[in-house]
Amino acid sequence: MAEHSPGCTCFIIPPKMLRQLAEETPDTAERHCLLDQAEMSAHLRGQRSVAPIALGLVATATGEKRRTVYDGQNKSALPGKLVRAEDSKPSTDTAVNQAYDGAGATYDFYREVLKRNSIDNKGMRLDSTVHYQNRFNNAFWNGQQMVYGDGDGKLFLGFTSAIDVIAHELTHGVTQYSVPGGLVYQDQSGALNESISDVFGSVVKQWTLKQSVEQADWLIGPGIMAPAVGKALRSMADPGNKELTWSGDDQPKHMKGYVENGDVHTNSGIPNHAFYAAAIALKGNAWDKAGPIWYKALSLLTSNATFADMAKATAQAAVLLYGADSAEEHAVQAAWKVVGVT
Ligand SMILES: [Zn+2]
């Protein structure tokens, strides 16, 4: 049986954002719906998941790419009805195909670039459920699988169209299996957990689009929101920029702006921006050097790692990959200075 670190229930949309949107909506029914979803996200999040074996969701490792997509049929039960398996024909349902293709692109990235075989590095099957609940405004990794809502069509337009969102969710699984004991989903370790998902969410998107660090938009989730809500959830190039993101974006990009007891999606702006600074300094493609350095750092972390621990781990990883006193080591060290961690 595969060794397994219990994971968190990690949402792409912070409950705080749903609450803020609820406050702004004039429609009472809509407001209650948003508040219910915020409460549910807050309640579920950080919950330690049960062993996947008990749920029968994790099949034995085969070392090959294997994806399954389920239709949640607008209910809460997981995983739902099986609608697409590996090598079966595309569905007539766009969300099914997007979840399938996004999981495939993420698998390919980890396999080809980082030589990792799926989430657990043992060929774990990638399970996704689409059409979760009714007009559900979120997507999450629940410790065993990805789950996507359709969005209400008014504020959120669905979550499977954005490859960075899919790769973000899958990376929560990678973190869960790569950091010994997983990263506790609160305080700085929680913000690191979120940041690592944004980092690889963005890098997978860049790799898929073959974009250099200069060409990349460095945005998380453009396209999942109605234009009235904003352009994207977060910007790694400029956290807290309300022109690039949504009007409530309160992400700091420097330790000066660190929010005590802040949401994990808030303080993640700091390590996000450190990755961006390192990638820009290293030039070329983010998946050539910065991505592999951040990936290697995961195994050097502990469950309660702080930003300073991540700074140390990424510098160590750069030394392991490129040698002591290398340009790469210096670029990583400088990036953490940019955000005031070191
Ligand atoms: Zn997340």
For the stretch 234-268, pLDDT in tens is 999 999 999 999 999 999 999 999 999 999 999 99
Cβ–Cβ under 8 Å, residues 155 and 139: no
* Residues found in the chain: 342
Give mean pLDDT, residues 32-41.
Answer: 88
Ligand 1 center to 172 CA (angstroms): 7
Ligand 1 center to 94 CA (angstroms): 23
- Tokens encoding 100: 């399938």
Protein residues with C-beta less than 5 angstroms from the ion ligand 1: 10, 194, 197
Neighbours of 120 (CB within 10 A): 21
What one-letter code names the amino acid at 318? A
Give percent above pLDDT 90 in the chain: 83
pLDDT at position 174: 95
* Domains, the chain: 10-178 (3.10.170.10), 187-338 (1.10.390.10)
- Tokens encoding 91: 């569905």
Q: How far is it, in rounded angstroms, from Cα 154 to Cα 157?
A: 7
Ligand 1 center to 2 CA (angstroms): 24
DSSP-derived pairing of the beta strands 219-220 and 81-85: unpaired
Q: Give me the active site residues, please.
A: 169, 265
Give mean pLDDT, residues 55-83.
Answer: 81
Ligand 1 center to 198 CA (angstroms): 7
Q: Is 156 exposed, middle or buried (0-12, 13-18, 19+ CB in 10 A)?
A: buried
pLDDT at position 40: 83
In whole numbers, what is the pLDDT of the chain averaged over residues? 92
Sole residue written with tokens 């200069």: 214
